[in-house]
Chain A
Amino acid sequence: DVKVTQSSRYLVKRTGEKVFLECVQDMDHENMFWYRQDPGLGLRLIYFSYDVKMKEKGDIPEGYSVSREKKERFSLILESASTNQTSMYLCASSRASPDTQYFGPGTRLTVL
């Protein structure tokens, strides 16, 4: 069965902290994605990766970075968390060709 897991369901951090969000998929997928979801704005793509050590900016990359050292793991990094980064963060993965994206359960991050 398809599985995408995220390291935390809920996270509370303080302004200025460095935050790591981890995502792991067990489907041997080439593509992995990080989105944030906010009321009224929907899902917005932050970064994606189509191979190990490869990354591409999405629509809203400012304030974020990513790391993909292994095929199954894609990390989202907030170098210095700010209150406007309070959001639901969703990770997804898919095969290389146009295909279904499978999502993890999400991490609700609150930055105080």
Chain B
Amino acid sequence: RKEVEQDPGPFNVPEGATVAFNCTYSNSASQSFFWYRQDCRKEPKLLMSVYSSGNEDGRFTAQLNRASQYISLLIRDSKLSDSATYLCVRGLTGGGNKLTFGTGTQLKVEL
């Protein structure tokens, strides 16, 4: 089983839709979680960190469920500019900031 697993998509949604991605992880010692965004032919960039209590940044909401070992990303009121690949990322305790990346979920927002 991969350490971090994501549905590759693509998720094709109309502008204004709400879309959610899930990601599962296999190592219960995992300490920290993030969502990165990668535009086509660009480098990944941090979108947001994920906390057990959940966190929200504008139209984006991230949740962590340690009991079921998954994290989620919810995007409300999708914009064309949200089209990208979303990478689920896990950091391990004491890992020296070593991160493990999922393969990404592709989102396409259409008119």
Which residues from chain A sit less than 8 Å from chain B, CB to CB? 31, 33, 35, 40-45, 48, 50, 56, 58, 90, 94-101, 103-106
Contacts and interface: CB of A to CB of B under 8 A. Distances in A.
B30 to A, nearest CB: 12
- Top 10 A-B residue pairs of the complex, sorted by shortest distance between their CB atoms: A42-B103, A103-B43, A43-B101, A100-B46, A94-B97, A42-B101, A50-B96, A31-B97, A98-B97, A103-B44
Interface of B: 8, 31-32, 34, 42-46, 87, 91, 96-104
A24 to B, nearest CB: 15
B97 A101 contact: yes
B41 to A, nearest CB: 8
Contact of A98 (B32, B43, B103): B32
Contact of B102 (A42, A94, A100, A101): A42
B45 A103 contact: yes
